[in-house]
């Protein structure tokens, strides 16, 4: 098995992240640093380590859903000492958990983790077209013509977005000063929903993700997690086909 694939499947990092670990000289095989991408290992024989910590394939991949609170960064460690998602998920019980994508520090809601790096890589790949659903509270009340711009696709600094499903759910205040929008997208650009709303002149006041593909947050309490199993898990893997 290719070393970067082994690392991803073991949950050490995403596939791209595993390549970065290798080129940075942080990966050893049987005590020898291996930096060449494409190097192969035998999972049954070779001992692989990252930063001196042995990495193994688990017998069963585990995927979990977290209801991420605000003011938490999507990283497994933070040199600046900020609160990170690793504090909220059971890494002691399931070593190798790694977030699938990310949510901004101030964005709340559904964040998936898995020990299967291949699953994470596949769900984030553009060809998978996995839909994410957000509830965005924006400043002001967008006109229908502005919502239609988002539905058709809107020009951002990194190019045109794909068409989005956008619906005005409710207005807030009397007189109305804010609005709640349902926004469904198939892309995963950095701060995409926030930038889309800014582009129509209605900046986001708060953002919450409720769904990632077949997985819904439901009534999972903030800061809590649950395992993703059964039909939900099968649907996530089915999205990779």
- What's the gap between Cα 50 and its chain centre? 22
Quick check: is 59 catalytic? no
User: Considering just the CA atoms, what is the radius of gyration of the chain in Å?
Assistant: 20
Task: Supply angle C-alpha 28, 21, 59, rounded to 5.
Answer: 70
> Out of 46, 78, 104, 180, which one is annotated catalytic?
104
How many whole angstroms separate alpha carbon 142 and alpha carbon 161? 19
- DSSP H helices, the chain, are 3-9, 15-23, 117-124, 144-152, 192-199, 230-238
- C-beta separation of 12 from 96 below 8 A: yes
What number of other Cβ atoms are within 10 A of residue 238's Cβ? Answer: 11
- C-beta separation of 160 from 199 below 8 A: no
- C-beta separation of 12 from 28 below 8 A: no
- Of the candidates 124, 123, 82, 75, which has an alpha carbon nearest to the alpha carbon of residue 103? 75
- C-beta separation of 10 from 96 below 8 A: yes
Please give the structure tokens belonging to residue 35: 């930096």
10 Å CB burial of residue 59 (0-12, 13-18, 19+) is: exposed
Active site residues: 104
């Amino acid at each position: 098995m290719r070393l970067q694939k082994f690392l991803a499947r073991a949950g050490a990092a995403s596939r791209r992240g595993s390549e970065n670990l290798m080129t940075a000289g942080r990966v050893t095989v049987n005590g020898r640093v291996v930096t060449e991408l494409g190097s192969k290992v035998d999972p049954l024989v070779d001992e692989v380590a990252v930063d001196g910590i042995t990495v193994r394939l688990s017998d069963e991949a585990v995927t979990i859903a977290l209801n991420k609170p605000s003011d938490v960064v999507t990283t497994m460690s933070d040199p600046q000492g900020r609160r990170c998602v690793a504090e909220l998920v059971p890494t002691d019980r399931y070593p190798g958990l790694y977030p699938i994508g990310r949510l901004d520090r101030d964005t709340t809601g559904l964040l998936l983790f898995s020990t299967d790096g291949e699953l994470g890589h596949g769900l984030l790949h553009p060809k998978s077209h996995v839909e994410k659903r957000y509830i965005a509270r924006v400043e002001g009340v967008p006109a229908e013509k502005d919502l239609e711009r988002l539905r058709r696709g809107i020009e951002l600094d990194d190019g045109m977005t794909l068409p989005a499903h956008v619906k005005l759910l409710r207005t807030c205040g009397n007189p109305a000063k804010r609005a709640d929008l349902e926004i469904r997208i198939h892309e995963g650009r950095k701060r995409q929903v926030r930038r889309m709303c800014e582009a129509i002149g209605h900046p986001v006041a708060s953002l919450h993700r409720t769904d990632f593909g077949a997985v819904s947050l439901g009534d999972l309490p903030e800061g809590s997690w649950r395992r993703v199993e059964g039909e939900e898990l099968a649907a996530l893997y089915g999205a990779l086909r």
